[in-house]
Amino acid sequence: MDIDHAARGRLYTGVAAALGVALCLFVALPVAAGIATLSSAIAEAQARDPWLKGSEWRQESLLARSRAAAALPDPVLRLGAANLPTDSFAFNQEAMTQFQVGLSQAVPRGATRELERERLEALGEEQAERRDERRAQGALTVTELWLDSTLASRTRALIERDRNLFEQLREVVASRYRRALGDARQQDLVRAELELTRLDDRLARLAEQESVARARLGEWLGPPARHLATPLPDLSLLEPGLRETQPPAPGQLALLLNRHPSVRSLQRRIDAGDTGIALAEARYKPGFTVNAGYGYREDAMDGSARPDFFSLGLAVELPLFPGERQDQQVRSARAEAEALRTERALLLRDLRAGLEAARARLLRLDERCALYQGRLLAEMAAQAEAAQAAYGADNGDFAEAVRSRIDELDARIEALAIDVERQRAIARLNYYLAGSRGGNLP
């Protein structure tokens, strides 16, 4: 039995199947023209985001309500007949029978109209801050998905390039197996075939990861959501001072985080809550309703004239029992405002912890990147070349040659992953610095 021929047949069948699956996944992805860079993908995602348009409509609604809240309530027109006799229903039978026309205008308590306008305007301005937060969050999400897809694509390229080296090793082992007998040579051949199969499995898994990342990008980029093969993006940190070993001063960090759109959005709600307290306190003051009426009377049955009536009145709302209503409204408004302040403190704490964690991760990744680029990759390549040369000269073990070559490949994949994670850490730091104008830190 020709073991070499049978093993090759199984290998070629596996490779064909893996490439077929990868080709199907690739063809199934829709092609989008023009989305070839991360910046253009972020711009496209923000332009297509329906949430932003919905927020604009909500802000317009709140601003319209604020203008309406500042106006007086509509006056009330009253028409009626008074003191109409039921025996004849005649207007000129009784002296007090009259046709009445009245008009009343309510005047709300204190400055409630102006305060309600300010409260709704603050809630409207909150929508603008929330849109900035949505844009920052969307940019982070698209960046992370883009990096996931890029990492899978570039890792596949590394494996496919090294696959030729493993095929050469297999050919060397097969040639030696045909010329010599022995369990060691047969084991080397099986090991070579096994490593090639494992590489094919890794390629299939990476194709799946890339397909999933691109499909998730479709949520932001629409049906033609496919990011083209591009170099790994080189993101810039909004505050380069965060890359220094010395941590920034707490006051500087607090200033940066207070500018974050999510914090500004919550501050608008706090402003609206403070206005709500003033609004509740204004309800202690009385409200007024002014009434004016005109009563028309017909002449008497004997033809004598009867004067018409005019009436004027003032109704006053008296908050005589504030403990059951006004006090509770003020208490509720103050509790809501304090709850929002607590939420803001928790948000700042969460943002600070996230920023410090991302900063620490970036510093460590910079160190690892320098180690890989400065020493480790070169040393792993030298070890792999030496092991392969020793095996070619019959002075080394095949398992060691294969292991050293796999270690070198894994080291280059890890170096790529570190570079991608550095970009991811920068993207996350830039999200926490979304309100930064740049250059706030030395």
Q: Please state the domain extents for the chain.
A: 38-72+108-284+319-432, 73-107+286-318
SS3 385: helix
pLDDT band with cut points at 50, 70 and 90 for residue 27: very low
Residue 361 structure tokens: 């991760």
Q: Quote the pTM value.
A: 0.78
Q: What local confidence, expressed as pLDDT, does residue 345 receive?
A: 95
Among candidate residues 157, 167, 202, the one with its CA nearest the CA of residue 412: 157
Per the model's pLDDT, the better-predicted residue between 11 and 129 turns out to be 129
Query: How many of the other CB atoms lie within 10 Å of CB of 197?
Result: 16
Which of 192-197's residues contact partners 24+ apart within 8 Å by CB, and which partners? 192/166, 192/398, 192/402, 193/7, 193/10, 193/11, 195/166, 195/402, 195/406, 196/11, 196/15, 196/163, 196/166, 196/167, 196/170, 197/11, 197/14
Q: In the CATH hierarchy, which fold is given to the domain comprising 73-107+286-318?
A: Outer membrane efflux proteins (OEP) (2.20.200)
Per the model's pLDDT, the better-predicted residue between 10 and 404 turns out to be 404
Longest C-alpha distance within the chain, in Å? Answer: 145
Please give the angle made by the CA atoms of 318, 322 and 327, to the nearest 5 degrees: 140
Q: Which residue has 């932001």 as its token pair?
A: 220
Q: Give the lowest-confidence range in 32-41, 214-223, 329-338, 413-422.
A: 32-41
- Under DSSP, the state recorded for 223 is T
Among candidate residues 115, 135, 118, 116, the one with its CA nearest the CA of residue 55: 135
Asked whether residue 25 carries a pLDDT value surpassing 70, the answer given is no
Integer Cα distance of 137 and 257 in angstroms: 15
CB 63 within 8 A of CB 120: yes
Q: Is 250 exposed, middle or buried (0-12, 13-18, 19+ CB in 10 A)?
A: exposed
SS (H, E, C) 151-194: HHHHHHHHHHHHHHHHHHHHHHHHHHHHHCCCHHHHHHHHHHHH
Write the CATH number of the domain with boundaries 38-72+108-284+319-432. 1.20.1600.10
In terms of DSSP H, where are the helices of 29-111? 38-48, 50-69
| Amino acid making up residue 85 | P
Tell me what the pLDDT averaged over the chain comes to.
83
pLDDT band with cut points at 50, 70 and 90 for residue 16: very low
Q: How do residues 106-149 score in pLDDT, each as one tens digit?
A: 999 989 999 999 999 999 999 999 999 999 999 999 999 999 98
Q: How do residues 155-201 score in pLDDT, each as one tens digit?
A: 998 888 877 766 766 666 666 666 664 444 667 777 777 778 888 88
Which of 193-197's residues contact partners 24+ apart within 8 Å by CB, and which partners? 193/7, 193/10, 193/11, 195/166, 195/402, 195/406, 196/11, 196/15, 196/163, 196/166, 196/167, 196/170, 197/11, 197/14
Q: What local confidence, expressed as pLDDT, does residue 440 receive?
A: 60
Residue 422 structure tokens: 């550095």
Q: Is 429 exposed, middle or buried (0-12, 13-18, 19+ CB in 10 A)?
A: buried
Q: Is 117 exposed, middle or buried (0-12, 13-18, 19+ CB in 10 A)?
A: buried
pLDDT band with cut points at 50, 70 and 90 for residue 428: very high
Integer Cα distance of 427 and 287 in angstroms: 55
CB 22 within 8 A of CB 204: yes
Q: How do residues 310-351 score in pLDDT, each as one tens digit?
A: 999 999 988 888 888 889 999 999 999 999 999 999 999 999
